[in-house]
Amino acid sequence: MTGVALPDNEVSRQELAHFLRTRRERLTPTDVGLPNGPRRRTPGLRREEVAILAGLSPTWYTLLEQGRNVSPSFKVLDSLASALNLAEHEREYIRMLVHSRVFPQRVERRHAPTEAALQQVADSLSPNPAYVINKVGDILGWNDAVVEWYTDFGELPESRRNLLWWLFTSPEAPVRLVDWRSDARDQVGRLRAVSASFPGRSCVSEMVEELKRVSGLFRKWWNESHVLNAEPQFRRLRHARRGTVPMRLVTLADGLHPSLEVVYHLPDPSAR
């Protein structure tokens, strides 16, 4: 979003409206058991069809998709999720968008004692790469193998030691990551899921706006409202001497500070 800054609740409403609209437009009548009917001028279901499937007033649903000041209950959101064939993590995303308006979630970005402990874990996992990261993608620590397989994050300004920033601005990233496009898009989807916990203007919204300015591809993928859950990750890394190595990414977190975690790379020949 650009221009005049919007109140936090309005930002959340606009995000929900955009997400519902993109999910409506990706469906066809046959996807939800409706007849195709006459030729359609726009892709996807009509608003009236979504409203009927969800048991809602078409006028009320239209207001919701326009980002108006209406507050859907979780029961209504679940009905919409079923009507739009949302996956479980997409259902959780829209619930969080609404819940965080009233009960903002605290997602830690830094915690020095935990970072120090996780750094020790990362060091102990050498010679395989392991980095310390938070939910926003900030790289808070790394072992020597990360320098070998990724980059030396210590050479970047602290404000730019972020996995998404590296993926979309560094010429090294497409060289190191064999499946750069899918890996980068996945990270956008993970950030989208996390962003629901940050209503309105926040560190996430600021980073999103910066990345939109510097990367047209990030802007395109962000506007698609792709949401990804925390499913197991695999990544193929390219090494100057060892060639391409498939890695399984294993996450280790501190139970008291789960927003910070170690991502450990375990070579896995069976991956992809």
> Could you give the CA distance from residue 156 to residue 264 in angstroms, rounded to a whole number?
21
Looking at the fold, whether 201 and 152 belong to one and the same domain comes out as yes
- Please state the length of the chain: 272
pTM of the model: 0.86
**21, 86, 143, 229 from 89: Cα distances, Å:** 17, 8, 32, 6
Domain endpoint, select from 61, 76, 102: 102
Domain hosting 49: range is 8-102
* 17 secondary structure, DSSP code: H
Tell me the pLDDT of the chain (272 aa) as tens digits: 344 444 457 778 899 999 999 999 999 998 998 887 667 777 799 999 999 999 999 999 999 999 998 889 999 999 999 999 999 999 999 999 988 766 666 678 899 999 999 999 999 999 999 999 999 999 999 999 999 999 999 999 999 999 999 999 999 999 999 999 999 999 999 999 998 887 666 788 899 999 999 999 999 999 999 998 766 689 999 998 999 999 999 999 988 899 999 999 999 877 55
Looking at the fold, whether 68 and 120 belong to one and the same domain comes out as no
Give the SS3 label for residue 172.
Answer: helix
Looking at the fold, whether 168 and 252 belong to one and the same domain comes out as yes
Asked whether residue 209 is assigned to any structural domain, the reply reads yes
> Could you give the CA distance from residue 202 to residue 205 in angstroms, rounded to a whole number?
5
Asked whether residue 51 is assigned to any structural domain, the reply reads yes
Considering its fold, how many domains does the chain have in total? 2
Asked whether residue 107 is assigned to any structural domain, the reply reads no
> Could you give the CA distance from residue 173 to residue 169 in angstroms, rounded to a whole number?
8
CB atoms within 10 A of CB 52: 16
**Tokens representing 113?**
């004692």
Residue type, 247: M
Which domain CATH number covers 30? 1.10.260.40
Looking at the fold, whether 255 and 141 belong to one and the same domain comes out as yes
Looking at the fold, whether 152 and 224 belong to one and the same domain comes out as yes
Q: Could you give phi then psi for residue 106, rounded to 5 degrees?
A: -95, 115
Looking at the fold, whether 80 and 134 belong to one and the same domain comes out as no
Looking at the fold, whether 250 and 152 belong to one and the same domain comes out as yes
107 contacts: CB under 8 Å, gap ≥ 6: 134, 135, 136, 194, 197, 198, 259
> Could you give the CA distance from residue 188 to residue 185 in angstroms, rounded to a whole number?
5
Asked whether residue 139 is assigned to any structural domain, the reply reads yes
Whether the bond between 38 and the residue before it is cis, its omega within 30 degrees of 0, is: no
Asked whether residue 164 is assigned to any structural domain, the reply reads yes
Asked whether residue 44 is assigned to any structural domain, the reply reads yes
